[in-house]
Amino acid sequence: MSSTASNSSALPKSQCADYDAQVNALNIGRFKDPFSFLGAHKVSESNIEVRVYLPDAQHVSLSIDNQIFETQRYKHSDLFIARVSQLPTSPYLCTAKYSDTSTTFFDEYSFNSELDTDAMYLFNEGSLEHAYLHFGAHFTNQQDVDGVRFCLWAPNAASVSIIGEFNFWQANRHFMRFHPASGVWELFIPELKADMCYKFAITAQSGEVIEKADPYAFKMQQAPGTASVLQYKPEAIALSEQAISNRQKRNHIDAPISIYEVHLASWQRGEGNRYLSYTELADKLVSYALEMNFTHLQLMPISEYPFDGSWGYQPVGLFAPTSRFGDYNSFKYFVEQCHKYNVGILLDWVPGHFPSDPHGLHRFDGTHLYEHADMRQGFHPDWNTYIYNYDRPEVKSFLISNAMYWLHQFGLDGLRVDAVASMLYLDYSRKEGEWIPNCYGGRENLGAIECLKQVNLRSYKNNPGIMMVAEESTAWPGVTQSVEHNGLGFGYKWNMGWMNDSLLYIQRDPLYKQHHHHEITFSMVYAFSENFILPLSHDEVVHGKGALIEKMPGDDWQKFANLRAYYAFMWAHPGKKLLFMGGEIAQRAEWGHDHSIDWHLLEHESHKGIKQTVKTLNEVYKNQPALYELDSSAAGFDWIDNNNNEQSILSFVRYAKNAHDFVVVIANFTPMSYQEYTLGVPSKGVYKVIINTDESEFFGSGIKVSKNQSNTVVTNDNPQHGFNQSITIAMGGLTTIYLQKVQDE
């Protein structure tokens, strides 16, 4: 059976005028309520019209409930109308003939809305933890038809269309349905395939058309491409009870945590300077971490980013693992290899700012949707990026959900949150008059504080055993206090004070160190105020700061000795450890993001000595509870002598939970060596050397602490430094030594 639609002359003039207006809106791509006009509509008791708008089509027929209906073009437009006897009971097919082809497809406007109103309520409230399950592009089955459901938050847009290679990037083809209660747009498009590219064409109230990538896309094109790519939602890594238990143990406050910070694009390159894939890195990098005895890997941001020079810190695709190294399944494999070998994996997360790329979040719907409109609140002067509006509930849902995505989908050990200080302070890097106080007249960003608290609360609740880490460079109180006790709820905080002071000290000429002794001792004043990680991160070897080895004073031998002594001091200092790649081989050049680490340096004994030092330090660290169990407690540390500024020698004791288990540490930060150096020790007995950075295996001078073959020293009854017992040792210049009591005398 077939039927022919009425032509325009059969319509009343008032209806023609209405249709003309609708057609004009369709033509210009500004149509806010497509379902009110397109699809099947009851015009009167006896008149049901099915309307389809297909640019460039020459003829259209419809297959509705097993009947074929011919349409008629409205005037000279691309609107085609069929008159039918009853409303369709299911989605119907269109067959469109073009000049050179014909195609049959389901009409998008014959599908019902399946928007989850409960989820939208939580999203608008700022508490939707898994927004990525609702927003973005999802392969699904709707009304027995396979396709992709698109969902977008753009409350101030006049119109939103989906554009892509499946509709020749036409902005007037797939208009989305608007839900004014939630500010969300939605459309189901049948029969799309994975790896098709798409964007959203958003018409602002001003009439401006903005093409935006999908904020929730699971994959994005590489630059210079800017489109999102259709992908099936990644299946979450299913963690066994044993895997969760392992995660809890390796991330616990009383666990040994030694983190190797890595930029995947430049850790190692393949032939022709190509990137290694996630799969290759799963073999090479995880094996290397195991070889070097690191407990964790920390990846600099891998959320999709357009500009290599941002190192990932200006991401556009927060839900898309960068495709530089492969697809998300390859990244899952990388994470699974870490789990297999009990190597923790942390990811840099950037909720503090976003870049100005036109396809990104800035002025997303023609208004300042994700950022503050006022530049004094919404723009970072340091990085030329935009600041999230943390007071907006939907932005909070977006960020909370992104944290949940990485932790839940990939089973990560945690997130290192970048630039927390810039989030906390409204006047961060701003002069007087360049910032707006909060409602109480203060400089605290109340929205950001609450957002961070919610991220941490929900992250720990939903992902047992993780660690949330703050890169926070100020004295903000309670960063690692629980939210219930008015803290921010992080598990760990980078100790930037220790890093700045100790690096400043270690770079000084040994002749002048005696005048700056406080720089190396001051960190113990606040060492237990937070749960700290001691970072020597990528930030210390870029932008003209020079490599760590080149910061060291003196000739080449002294540089290497100084660095070895400094590393051993760091590994003995209270706090977990983090070292950026290249530091373990004493890379001489500043880090560059576009080439590999200078692995060829390992041809030299001096560089091999640094690598062996770090490897041994990690091994000793993991095997000595005194070096990690009480990192956040004053009970785990006691000075032996912190006042020997004239010789620039420090000595202290690290205790395990079992107070009889301790390690004595002596650090000599001048080139002067000593045949007999006496210091007090906690108890009588025999002490064995477990680290001496002056050993020849580390490229040291080979001065032995003890003259006996067993490398041990015995206490005597000579009181020193407030202790009843003391030992006398030999000590090389620029050397750090660890001693462990192995037996009572």
C-alpha to C-alpha distances, 482 to 229, 447, 486, 631, nearest whole angstrom = 39, 18, 7, 18
Torsion of CA 88, 89, 90, 96, to 10 degrees: -20
C-alpha 294 chain-centroid distance: 20
Strands 686-692 and 735-743: what pairing?
antiparallel
Torsion of CA 489, 490, 495, 497, to 10 degrees: -30
> Among residues 168, 449, 132, 122, which one has the least CA distance to residue 317?
132
Token pair recorded at residue 267: 């850790």
**DSSP annotation string for 69-138:** EE-EE-TTSSEEEEEESS--SS--EEEEE-SS-EEEEE-GGGS-----HHHHHHHHHT--TTGGGTSEEE
Helix (H, G, I), strand (E, B) or coil at 242: helix
| Residue pair 737/692 in contact by the 8 Å Cβ criterion | yes
**What is the separation, in whole angstroms, between the first and last Cα of the chain?**
106
C-alpha to C-alpha distances, 100 to 57, 93, 218, nearest whole angstrom = 10, 20, 35
Q: Say which residues have a Cβ less than 8 Å from residue 415's Cβ, sequence separation at least 6.
A: 346, 347, 348, 349, 403, 406, 407, 459, 466, 468, 469
Catalytic residue, from 107, 186, 413, 471: name it.
Answer: 471
**DSSP annotation string for 375-407:** HHHHEETTTTEE-B-TTSHHHHHHHHHHHHHHH
Count how many residues are written for the chain: 745
> Among residues 414, 455, 464, 469, which one has the least CA distance to residue 239?
464
SS (H, E, C) 25-59: HHHHCCCCCHHHCCEEEEEECCEEEEEEECCCCCE
- Cα distance between residue 343 and residue 334, in whole Å: 11
C-alpha 122 chain-centroid distance: 24
- Cα distance between residue 106 and residue 144, in whole Å: 12
- Cα distance between residue 258 and residue 641, in whole Å: 27
- Cα distance between residue 323 and residue 195, in whole Å: 12
- Cα distance between residue 184 and residue 166, in whole Å: 23
Q: Is 472 one of the annotated active-site residues of the chain?
A: no
Q: Is 418 one of the annotated active-site residues of the chain?
A: yes
C-alpha 546 chain-centroid distance: 26
| Residue pair 344/297 in contact by the 8 Å Cβ criterion | yes
In this structure, which amino acid lies at residue 356? S
Helix (H, G, I), strand (E, B) or coil at 205: coil
- Cα distance between residue 145 and residue 622, in whole Å: 56
Catalytic residue, from 304, 348, 394, 418: name it.
Answer: 418
> Among residues 385, 465, 467, 459, which one has the least CA distance to residue 422?
385
> Among residues 436, 424, 444, 442, which one has the least CA distance to residue 377?
436
Q: Say which residues have a Cβ less than 8 Å from residue 355's Cβ, sequence separation at least 6.
A: 305, 306, 307, 310, 314, 315, 316, 362, 385, 386
SS (H, E, C) 342-361: CCEEEEEECCCCECCCCCCC
Token pair recorded at residue 352: 């503090």
| Residue pair 436/377 in contact by the 8 Å Cβ criterion | yes
What burial class does residue 371 get, using C-beta atoms within 10 Å of its C-beta: 0-12 exposed, 13-18 middle, 19+ buried?
buried
User: Which of the residues are catalytic?
Assistant: 418, 471
